[in-house]
């Protein structure tokens, strides 16, 4: 049975209203003014409050303002006004009342009051259910985001462990070609791991900041392929843009292969060399150029006859997954452009 506090200075009307509302299924408690009502509300919980407008000392609007200021949570309020007081009713609604009822003589008034109580309680229940559903959904989303971040963290750690195993295996081999192949594999693993590392350290768990990712990837490759005798400098210029995780991985693999290939083959051993990575946005697409000033490519645009050819296969496979174009540009050194939709 819903509990109602009815505030009205008219003792006779309070008594009649209490009896009438009990017959209609409401548990009633009454108060003769705002101060008494506030004291009752501080001790007891009610589902709804009804306030009469005309009361000596403090009218209904002042009482409503006092209750709203004094109580941390105010139940829905139904305001009771005189028959010609539409202005007062509007003011009550603006002050936060859920509904208003025009006071009349007879059972019609009590029927209207009971209907207003029921409607206000139903609206309050719907608002409460909506707030609870939104809070539950927010908590669920936060748990899922935390789980996804933890998953990316574990993936990144696992890829780091695999990379370490590959490095250990490479160190144990005497054949330089085999060691080089494992070093290439290790760097590919690290390029993918960089994506997951950014996902668990970012507030956005669905996309990757590509400018940040390319910077980190370039630094990693620079450290991997540089030696004191043959330093490699990888410079990146990229505007802020984000890609979905799977697309970021594909782009990372392609850029990794292009930079690695330039670091290994563009410049003679014992000389320094620079590789430039430039990303641009072109409408709904992006373009990434990787270029060097090295020895160039063999006739027909084919890569120099070095390596296993796996890198080229990976580039073509990743480009196909992106529905991207790979263009080898003529000129000194090597310039390769990757173009795909965002």
Domain count within the chain: 2
Q: Is 58 left (phi over 0), alpha (psi -120 to 50) or beta?
A: beta
CA distance 103 to 308: 92
Got the DSSP string for 211-277? HHHHHHHHHHHHHHH--SSS-EEEEEE----EEEHHHHHHHHHHHHHHHHHHHHHTS-TTS-EEEEE
Please, which pLDDT band fits residue 297 given cuts at 50, 70 and 90? low
Q: Give tens-digit pLDDT for 103-136.
A: 887 888 899 999 999 999 999 899 889 999 999 9
Q: Which residue is it, tokens 């330039």?
A: 262
Whole-number percent of the chain with pLDDT over 90 = 45
pTM above 0.85, yes or no: no
Residue 138 has pLDDT above 50, yes or no: yes
Last residue of a domain, one of 88, 103, 118: 103
Indicate whether 217 and 93 sit together in one domain: no
User: Span 266-289, mean pLDDT?
Assistant: 92
Residue 301 has what pLDDT? 45
Please, which pLDDT band fits residue 46 given cuts at 50, 70 and 90? very high
Could you give the dihedral angle defined by the CA atoms of residues 271, 274, 275 and 278, in that order, rounded to the nearest 10 degrees?
-170
| 328 within domain boundaries | yes
Structure-block tokens of residue 94: 């603006």
| 186 within domain boundaries | no
User: Span 179-197, mean pLDDT?
Assistant: 85
- Residue 94 sits in which domain range? 3-103
| 163 within domain boundaries | no
User: Span 20-47, mean pLDDT?
Assistant: 92
Please, which pLDDT band fits residue 308 given cuts at 50, 70 and 90? low
| 80 within domain boundaries | yes
| 179 within domain boundaries | no
CA distance 319 to 313: 10
Mean pLDDT check: name the lowest of 193-197, 241-245, 247-251, 258-262: 193-197
Last residue of a domain, one of 68, 103, 138: 103
Residue 136 has what pLDDT? 92
Structure-block tokens of residue 199: 């996902």
Last residue of a domain, one of 72, 103, 134: 103
| 195 within domain boundaries | no
Residue 134 has what pLDDT? 92
């Amino acid at each position: 049975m819903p509990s109602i506090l009815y505030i009205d200075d008219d003792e006779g009307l309070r008594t009649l209203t209490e009896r009438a509302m009990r017959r209609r299924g409401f548990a009633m408690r009454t108060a003769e003014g705002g101060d008494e009502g506030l004291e009752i509300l501080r001790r007891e919980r009610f589902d709804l409050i009804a306030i009469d407008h005309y009361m000596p000392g403090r009218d209904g609007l002042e009482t409503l303002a006092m209750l709203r200021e004094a109580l941390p949570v105010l139940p829905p309020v139904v305001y009771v006004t005189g028959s010609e007081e539409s202005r007062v009713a509007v003011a009550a609604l603006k002050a936060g009342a859920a509904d208003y009822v025009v006071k009349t003589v007879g059972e019609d008034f009590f029927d209207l009051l009971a209907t207003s109580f029921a409607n206000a309680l139903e609206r309050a229940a719907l608002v409460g259910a909506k707030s609870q559903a939104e809070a539950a959904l927010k908590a669920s989303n936060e748990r899922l985001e935390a789980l996804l971040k933890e998953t990316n963290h574990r993936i990144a750690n696992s890829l780091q462990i695999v990379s370490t195993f590959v490095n250990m295996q490479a160190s144990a081999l005497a054949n330089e070609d085999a060691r080089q192949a494992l070093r290439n594999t290790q760097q590919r693993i690290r390029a993918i791991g960089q994506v997951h590392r950014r996902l668990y350290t970012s507030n956005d768990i669905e996309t990757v900041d590509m400018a940040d990712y390319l910077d980190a990837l370039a630094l990693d490759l620079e450290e991997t392929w540089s030696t004191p005798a043959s330093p490699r400098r990888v410079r990146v210029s990229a505007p802020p843009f984000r890609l979905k995780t799977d697309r970021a991985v594909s782009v990372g693999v392609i850029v990794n292969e292009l930079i690695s290939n330039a670091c290994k083959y563009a410049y003679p051993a014992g000389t320094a060399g620079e590789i430039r990575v430039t990303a641009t946005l072109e409408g709904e697409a992006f373009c990434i150029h990787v270029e060097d000033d090295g020895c160039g490519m063999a006739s027909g645009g084919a890569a120099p006859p070095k390596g296993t050819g796996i890198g080229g296969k990976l580039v073509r496979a990743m480009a196909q997954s992106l529905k991207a174009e790979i263009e080898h540009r003529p000129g000194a050194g090597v310039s390769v452009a990757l173009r795909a939709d965002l």
